[in-house]
Structure 1
Amino acid sequence: MESNSYNKTYGILSYCTLIGWIIAMVQVSSSTGEERRFTAFHLRQMLILMLVGAVVSIIDTILFFIPFIGVIIINIISILLFIVWLMLLIGAIRGERKYVPVIGQAGENMLGDMFE
């Protein structure tokens, strides 16, 4: 577990709806030091998760027309996305930096220091 001597509110808020993400993004510009890096990290991870969700939504539209199998696949993927979201939210509450499984590290490298 990492040090919690800074305010984690905006890191947590970045996982609570799109409006919360936007508020955290605007607020990160007034933060400094570790609080800014913590919030920026969680903003990037939530952005990655939102992009994955958008792709899943497009795939959902296509698979909707495949009876039974398409619905099962999308339900499984949706449950997995929810579990990942919950894992990231709990990590932010604890003051940890958790990556989106499988693609989080690559996404972090691609986004660089966005929001910092």
Structure 2
Amino acid sequence: MNNKTLAAISYVTLIGWIVAYVQYKNSQDKSPLVRYHLAQALGLAIASIVLSIAIVIVTSIVPSLGVILSFVTFVPLIFAVLGIIAALNEASKPLPVIGGMFTNKFAFLN
């Protein structure tokens, strides 16, 4: 697979991230594009889990907010689509709002 495809696959579920990571680690040339999008996708997955836990806690305390907060659960999906678009355009552009937190993190990707 080429680097653009690996970068895009990293946003598609956890299995896609693992496939892209294994291909990245086994490749001779470590593409900075793939590494960048692996970090962004992993950060998005972590943020998505934290968001889901927070929504469950808030809706258990205030059930009437459940309908409103259910729309917030689409935000990670939207960010993933934006990440895939950036990967396919071969751009190292951070995800909106949360992308800057994960730019130079995850040292195991180096």
Report what 1:3 is aligned to: none
Going from structure 1 to structure 2, the CA distance change for 1:20 and 1:112 (only over 3 Å counts) comes to closer
Aligned residue runs from structure 1 range 14-33, under 5 A = 14-33=10-29
Q: Which residue of 2 aligns with 1:115?
A: 109
- Asked whether the equivalents of residues 8 and 83 of structure 2 are also in contact (C-alpha less than 8 Å), the reply is no
Alpha-carbon separation, structure 1, partners of 2:100 and 2:59: 31
Tell me the residue number matched to 1:94. 89
SS of 1:64 mapped into structure 2: helix
CA drift of 1:10 comes to 0.9
Give the aligned residue type for 1:55.
V
C-alpha root-mean-square deviation of aligned residues, in Å? 1.9
Is 1:84–1:101's contact at 8 Å kept on the other side of the alignment? Answer: yes
**C-alpha deviation, 1:83, in angstroms:** 1.4
Q: SS of the residue aligned with 1:68?
A: helix
Return the TM-score normalized by structure 1. 0.79
Q: Give the unaligned 5+ runs of structure 2.
A: none
1:51 is displaced (CA, Å) by: 0.7
Which sections of structure 1, spanning at least 5 residues, go unmatched?
1-5
Equivalent-residue separation in structure 1 for 2:48 and 2:100 (angstroms): 17
Cα distance, 1:14–1:45 mapped onto 2, change above 3 Å = same
More displaced, 77-86 or 87-96?
Answer: 77-86
Match 2:6 to one of 7, 10, 13: 10
4+ long deviations beyond 4 Å: none
Paired residues in the alignment total: 108
Q: Measure, in 2, the Cα distance between the counterparts of 1:102 and 1:12.
A: 19
Which position in structure 1 is the counterpart of 2:33? 38
CA contact (8 A) 1:14 1:20 kept: yes
58, 64, 76: which one pairs with 2:59? 64
Q: Give TM-score, length-normalised by structure 2.
A: 0.83
Partner of 1:54: 49
Q: 1:63 to 1:47 in 2, by over 3 A?
A: same
